[in-house]
Structure 1
Amino acid sequence: MGGTDFRVLIVVPCYNEEEAIATVVAEINYIKHQYGLNLDVLVVNDQSTDNSLAVIQKLDCLYLNLPVNLGIGGAMHAGYKYAFRYGYDVAVQMDGDGQHPAEELPKVLQPIFEGRADVVIGSRFLERTGFQSTYVRRLGITYFRWLNQSLIGKAIHDSTSGFRAFNRRTICITNAYYPDEYPEPESIVQFGLHKLRILEVPVIMRERQGGTSSITLAKSIYYMFKVTMGTLFVYIRLQNKQRNYGVVTDCYSDT
């Protein structure tokens, strides 16, 4: 698949994933050696209340142990800051619950290696194979596709996917700012307004291999409202920057 000249950091956010995290890291390391990738794994422990930290400390990976629980957005922001500070060319988000098979990594990395995209999103809905999520979540994802298309003119079929790869320019942007709590749909608007090239590729996902989802049915209405407001906030904020300072292209300026 090529790409051996790129330094890649796999960022794995972890909150109460003691059942799955060891397998996730082992699968990634296997793909690393199979393809000869210059790749590191960084697990970000978001103040897990189970035995996750003790498990992580025994694994063949880097790790950050956050002092407070920041949520998925804060955990990923910490990972992207690490990738930026230590000069990685590519950063990949993979969930710590085992939903993202490591054998799918080449699909999200190759467009970055070939210079065809700044952001690559692994989508379970382009070919509709593997785990397709629940009906309620699919309705929400359809809504976010409409919202993103309305704001930036680009339809993303799997806007809540946590399986995504960023090139160095995108890492630079996320180092300066990344949405907190439920960042995936919100960040698409951020990337669109920065004129980044966003590409979806079909991937197969699994059901989570352990732990419980942070988004329960009871939180679904709150999730929809919160993400909508967050997305609109990101859009208005960056639009104001563009009006006041011109098109936002400098990744250091988004603070």
Structure 2
Amino acid sequence: MNRQNLLVVVPALNEQESISAVIAAVKSVGFQVLVVDDGSSDETYSIAKRSGAQVMELSMNLGVGGALQSGFAYAVANGFDAVVQVDGDDQHSAESIEKLIAAANSTNADMVVGSRFLDGASSMKLPIVRRIGMAILRIYASRSCRTKITDSSSGFRLIRNPLLAEFAKSFPSHYLGDTFEALTVSGKKNYKVIEIPAPFRERQFGKSSSTSLLSLFLVFRALFVVTFGLHFRLSKNSQTRAD
């Protein structure tokens, strides 16, 4: 796997203040970038086009999971072997993309997660309610993936075939579905998931849409979904990779 067969997918909803910086950072390290405009009501689409990205404009808001699935399907249809998921709010470091690739190549992993918490990668401060919720998710994800997971809700990840092709066909659209649920189900289906440290910047523009109490409720909803098998389903277990 190399930069020629990898696509950076950026789901974006009303990120006009930050999207040009995200695109510039990705292009500066030599990767192709697809912005999936998830029904924005601001100038995200036009700014992304002017900034030199490929842009997919969704006719309605599908949620981050729906936007990602659209990007994954585009990648598969256009012959890419892997994608790196990068948020549109400029919180992820484009310089870490090469590290995700190196980790995938050296370990043969199907998914490489950029963790905000592994080896002190970032010093972000979270309310205690969110810390409790994230700790619960970490424990569940670690058991499902049979390896230590420190950041089950990270939106900075590399996903490669054949898992990428599975996600292009079926992927959850709700909050934590695109991160925790996708991670957990992949582990249960024997896809190899690993983590590497990844720096994280605080959001400079806009604000998160979820409060601490809402986040905790959504954590327990996600746990209920995966515990009782109500989650999306991958069509097959992982096969041994030939490359």
TM norm structure 2: 0.88
- Which whole-Å CA distance do the structure 1 matches of 2:123 and 2:15 have between them? 19
State the partner residue of 1:169. Answer: 162
State the partner residue of 1:101. Answer: 93
The question of whether the paired residues in 1 share the 8 Å contact of 2:133 and 2:216 is answered with no
State the partner residue of 1:76. Answer: 68
- Report the Cα offset of residue 233 of structure 1: 4.9
- Which whole-Å CA distance do the structure 1 matches of 2:84 and 2:65 have between them? 14
- Which whole-Å CA distance do the structure 2 matches of 1:181 and 1:146 have between them? 21
2:203 matches 1:203? no
State the partner residue of 1:30. Answer: 28
The match for 1:220 among 215, 223, 226 is 215
- The more displaced of 91-100 and 45-54 is 45-54
- Report the Cα offset of residue 116 of structure 1: 2.5
The match for 1:17 among 15, 18, 25 is 15
The question of whether the paired residues in 2 share the 8 Å contact of 1:238 and 1:248 is answered with no
Q: Provide the secondary structure at the position in 1 that maps to 2:28.
A: helix
2:237 matches 1:248? yes
Q: Which consecutive residues of structure 2, in runs of 5 or more, have no partner in the other structure?
A: none
State the partner residue of 1:36. Answer: none
Q: Provide the secondary structure at the position in 2 that maps to 1:127.
A: helix
Q: Which amino acid aligns with 1:48?
A: S
Taking a change above 3 Å as real, the CA distance of residues 74 and 237 of structure 1, as seen in their structure-2 partners, is closer
The question of whether the paired residues in 1 share the 8 Å contact of 2:113 and 2:157 is answered with yes
Identity among equivalent pairs (%) = 32
State the partner residue of 2:5. Answer: 7
- The more displaced of 12-21 and 218-227 is 218-227
2:55 matches 1:63? yes
State the partner residue of 1:35. Answer: none
Count of residue correspondences: 236
The question of whether the paired residues in 2 share the 8 Å contact of 1:122 and 1:164 is answered with yes
- Report the Cα offset of residue 129 of structure 1: 3.2
- Which whole-Å CA distance do the structure 2 matches of 1:237 and 1:68 have between them? 22
- Which whole-Å CA distance do the structure 2 matches of 1:115 and 1:235 have between them? 31
Query: How far does the alpha carbon of each residue in 1:170-189 deviate from its partner, in whole angstroms, 9 at most, with x for none?
Result: 11111121111222000112
- Which whole-Å CA distance do the structure 2 matches of 1:230 and 1:236 have between them? 5
2:185 matches 1:190? yes
- Which whole-Å CA distance do the structure 1 matches of 2:167 and 2:17 have between them? 29
- Which whole-Å CA distance do the structure 1 matches of 2:82 and 2:231 have between them? 28
- Report the Cα offset of residue 115 of structure 1: 5.3
State the partner residue of 2:124. Answer: 132
- Report the Cα offset of residue 237 of structure 1: 6.9
2:111 matches 1:119? yes
- Which whole-Å CA distance do the structure 1 matches of 2:181 and 2:20 have between them? 30
Query: How far does the alpha carbon of each residue in 1:51-98 deviate from its partner, in whole angstroms, 9 at most, with x for none?
Result: 212212212111111111111111111111111111101101000001
- Which whole-Å CA distance do the structure 2 matches of 1:226 and 1:46 have between them? 24
TM norm structure 1: 0.84
- Give RMSD over aligned pairs: 2.3
